[in-house]
């Protein structure tokens, strides 16, 4: 059976809500942050680390997994869950965003996108049907439609034509999905339309009319200002059905997560927590800590005094700074663990606050301490 969204509680003062997404691979409490495991690994984390920190669902990327390890091995492994030994839900992005942000010499047509691999320059052709076929081979629990994500400065005419083509691609992908996917696999539609509300409304209405298992807001966190993101987010989210999951793609800083969940979004993902960790930056209850700073040279206190994660319970800022300066892999691993734990714990606190109608109080308390 495809996923079922169960609405549990709406916050009294905002559009925030608590729910559960029931999937064949397990239940997902919402609002939830989804760690990104682009090529079948959330970088430096074991699946036991992910379970211990409370990860309920992780992301994989169609574009990356298709290029490496490739679908021949993926099929022989029996899908990504078995290949990476992760028995909880997996959501896969469809490749559209990655083709446009990573591949070279890409050429878009009505049928699909011709591109050269960023790894070896080999030539490939993705269509909406091909994207779903690859996500089937991955055994993705939640698949994304193949879309074009346009950048924040695209012209009205370009966004209009692109959004209309994305709608045609969505229908093709949905038809292929209905004819070929396993019944336990779900498919989300993606709303485009750039920074133009009239186009966003058309995209949302037409996408919802196709009756997907859930809906994401695409085309955000692509270079627009925070005000523009929030404006489009607050305009578009209410156009999505209340009885299905809503996903804001590419959202990873605490404020963007708070704003998304306040608007009624249920799911979010971003490479940010693990990527900044590898560059030596931590998210803490008192704001970002750039651990390389000399300030922490003899600071033997925990990274985050309010965090009970493995990293904060066992190591000091001075030691973490030493590891990062010495380019020790353990530094990237310990900071990645903490950053993911921090965002997952924040989501847990948000769910609890919504249950107590105190989402805005928690947001205010968090923002003040974080330094927003
Ligand atoms: C240190 O921080 C970072 O490395 C970092 C990297 C990327 C983002 C933003 C990512 N934004 C984003 N991811 C996205 C993925 C998407 N996928 C599809 N199919 N369609 C979209 O329309 C789409 C939009 C996105 N916007 C934010 C932060």
Residue 310: how many other CB atoms lie within 10 Å: 15
269 classed as catalytic: yes
Residue 121 pLDDT? 92
| CA distance linking residue 153 with residue 104, whole number of Å | 20
What's the CA-to-centroid distance between 135 and ligand 1, angstroms? Answer: 19
Q: What is the pLDDT of residues 3-51, one digit of tens each?
A: 999 999 999 999 999 999 999 999 999 999 999 999 999 999 999 999 9
For ligand 1, whether the C-beta of 194 sits within 6 Å is no
Residue 173 pLDDT? 98
- Out of 145, 249, 265, mutate this one to test ligand 1's pocket (max ligand atoms within 8 Å of CB): namely 249
The verdict on whether residue 93 carries a ligand-binding annotation is: yes
Nearest ligand 1 atom, CA 146:
19
The verdict on whether residue 307 carries a ligand-binding annotation is: yes
Q: What is the pLDDT of residues 41-94, one digit of tens each?
A: 999 999 999 999 999 999 999 999 999 999 999 999 999 999 999 999 999 999
SS3 sequence, the chain?
A: CCCEEEEEEECCCCCCEEEEEEECCEEEEECEEEEECCCCCCCCCCHHHHHHHCCCCEEEEHHHHHHCCCHHHHHHHCCHHHHHCCCCCEEEECCHHHHHHHCEEEEECCCCEEEECCCCCCEEEECHHHHHHHHHHHCCCEEECCCCCCCCCCCHHHHHHHHHHHHHHHHHHHHHHHHHCCCCCEEEEEECCCCCHHHHHHHHHHHHHCCCCEEEECCCCCCCCHHHHHHHHHHHHHHCCCCCCEEECCCCCHHHHHHHHHCCCCEEEECHHHHHHHCCEEEECCEEEECCCHHHCCCCCECCCCCCCHHHHHCEHHHHHHHHHCCCHHHHHHHHHHHHHHHHHHHHHHHHHHHCCCHHHHHHHHHHHHCC
Please list the rounded mean pLDDT of every run of 10 residues in the chain (372 residues). Answer: 97 98 98 98 98 98 98 98 98 94 88 95 96 98 98 96 98 98 98 98 99 98 97 98 98 97 98 98 98 98 98 98 98 98 98 98 98 97
Q: Which of 137, 213, 266, 269 is catalytic?
A: 269
């Amino acid at each position: 059976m495809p996923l079922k969204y169960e609405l549990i509680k709406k916050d009294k003062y905002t559009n925030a809500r608590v729910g559960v997404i029931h999937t064949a691979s397990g239940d997902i409490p919402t609002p939830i942050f989804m760690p990104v495991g682009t090529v079948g690994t959330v970088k430096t984390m074991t699946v036991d680390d992910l379970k211990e920190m409370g990860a309920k669902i992780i992301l994989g990327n169609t574009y990356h997994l298709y290029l490496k390890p490739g679908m021949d091995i993926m099929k022989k492994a029996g899908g990504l869950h078995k290949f990476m030994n992760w028995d909880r839900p997996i959501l896969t992005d469809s490749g559209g965003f990655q083709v446009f942000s990573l591949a070279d010499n890409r050429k878009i047509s009505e049928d699909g996108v011709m591109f050269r691999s960023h790894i070896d320059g080999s030539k490939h052709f993705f269509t909406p049907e091909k994207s779903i076929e690859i996500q089937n081979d991955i055994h993705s629990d939640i698949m994304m439609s193949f879309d074009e994500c346009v950048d924040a400065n695209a012209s009205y005419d370009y966004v209009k034509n692109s959004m209309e083509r994305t709608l045609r691609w969505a229908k093709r992908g949905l038809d292929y999905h209905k004819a070929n996917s396993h019944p336990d696999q779900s498919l989300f539609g993606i709303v485009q339309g750039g920074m133009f509300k009239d186009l966003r409304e058309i995209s949302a209405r037409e996408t919802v009319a196709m009756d997907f298992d859930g809906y994401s807001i695409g085309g955000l966190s692509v270079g627009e200002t925070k005000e523009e993101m929030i404006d489009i987010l607050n305009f578009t989210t209410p156009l999505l059905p209340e009885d299905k999951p809503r996903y804001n793609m590419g959202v990873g800083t605490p404020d963007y997560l708070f704003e998304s969940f306040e608007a009624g979004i249920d799911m979010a993902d971003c490479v940010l927590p693990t990527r900044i960790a590898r560059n030596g930056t931590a998210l803490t209850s008192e704001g970002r800590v750039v651990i390389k700073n000399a300030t922490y040279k003899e600071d033997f206190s925990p990274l985050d005094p309010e965090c009970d994660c493995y990293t904060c319970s066992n190591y000091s800022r001075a030691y973490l700074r030493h590891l990062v300066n010495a380019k020790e892999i353990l530094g990237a691993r310990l900071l990645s663990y903490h950053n993911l734990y921090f965002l997952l714990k924040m989501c847990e606190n948000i769910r609890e606050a919504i249950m107590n109608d105190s989402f805005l109080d928690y947001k205010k308390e968090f923002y003040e301490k974080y330094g927003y």
